[in-house]
Amino acid sequence: MVEEGALTVKDYMTREVDTVSPDDTVGDVAARIAGSTEHSGFPVTDGRHVEGFVSARDLLQQPDHEPIFKVMSDDLLVAHPEMDIDDAARVILRSGIQKLPVVDDTGNLVGIISNADVIRSQIERATPGKVDNLMQTLENIHGVAVSQERRQVALAELTPTQAKVYADELEGRRYELDRGLAEPLVVIDNDGDLLLADGHHRVKAAARLGIDEMDAYVIVLSERVDLGMAKTAQKEDLYSIDDIAVVDYAHHPLVQKTKRLQD
């Protein structure tokens, strides 16, 4: 039984799912996989009822005219939308599969949950801890009431509070953004001024990818406060994310090379 307030599969699953029919041919499905950058297989459904799953491996060395119901896997693992996300993570990890079809009590397909979705769920659990700590700090230092919102913020409206980012770390953030795994930003709304508290590598990578808005936890101050990080931003001439310098002659402080470890 899922505990009250626990995150479930339905909170992270993709609801719009591409499927194939049991009567489709190997040639048709192989062409769809070859022409896609997202799919290495499909749930096989009769109407919305799940009959099996077909992967690229199932199609290997099969004649193009063979119907999918003859080559698909019909003994497959599925998840229920009310399943705890941690339980789904264990199934995906232990089975070595990348995606679980999500079915309702009647066996009808209602979504799909991937290993990327599971990773995202774990990332988003970690971020509120940062937000809670920052909220408490703001309340204690400035004696101001704070509240929290989850919303999309325009990158053009953000004022950075960090002067530089590292080129090697940007590549990792680009990878995460491409796969929907980026941690939400942490932003302080100080009477309409949006200060970026956490996520400078993410916004810089997003800008390079042409992304205009990002998901963020926004800490809203009940009244305008003279924040130290705002003073730091002005002192370092930081007014937009374009002002964040990219350092390509040094590694991120957490990244070490083997030779450095041996010295």
Average confidence score pLDDT of the chain: 87
Task: Give pLDDT, residue 219.
Answer: 96
| 166 contacts 244 by C-beta, under 8 angstroms | no
Q: Would the pLDDT of 261 be above 50?
A: no
Question: What distance in Å separates the CA atoms of residue 131 and residue 124, rounded to the nearest whole number?
Answer: 11
Residue 260 reports pLDDT greater than 60: no
pLDDT digits 0-9 by tens, 82-129: 999 989 988 888 888 888 999 999 999 999 998 888 887 877 666 777
The enclosing H or E element of 187 equals: strand 185-190
* pLDDT at position 40 over 60: yes
Contacts 24+ apart (CB under 8 A), 48-51: 48/108, 48/109, 49/106, 49/107, 49/108, 49/109, 50/76, 50/78, 50/101, 50/103, 50/107, 50/108, 50/109, 51/22
Nearest to 30 by CA among 51, 74, 61: 61
Decide if 125 contacts 193 (C-beta within 8 A): no
Task: Let me know how long the chain is.
Answer: 263
Q: Higher-confidence residue: 181 or 59? A: 59
- Give the chain's domains with CATH numbers: 9-117 (3.10.580.10), 144-258 (3.90.1530.10)
**Would you tell me the crossing angle of helices 85-95 and 115-142 to the nearest 10 degrees?**
140
161 and 231 Cβ atoms separated by less than 8 Å: no
Q: How far apart are CA 120 and CA 92, in angstroms?
A: 14
- pLDDT confidence bin for 50, thresholds 50/70/90: very high
pLDDT in tens, 194-233: 999 999 999 999 999 999 999 999 999 999 999 988 888 8
> What are the pLDDT digits (tens) for 135-188?
999 999 899 999 999 999 999 999 999 998 888 788 888 888 887 777 899 999
Question: 233 and 160 in contact (C-beta within 8 Å)?
Answer: yes
The pLDDT value given to residue 263? 46
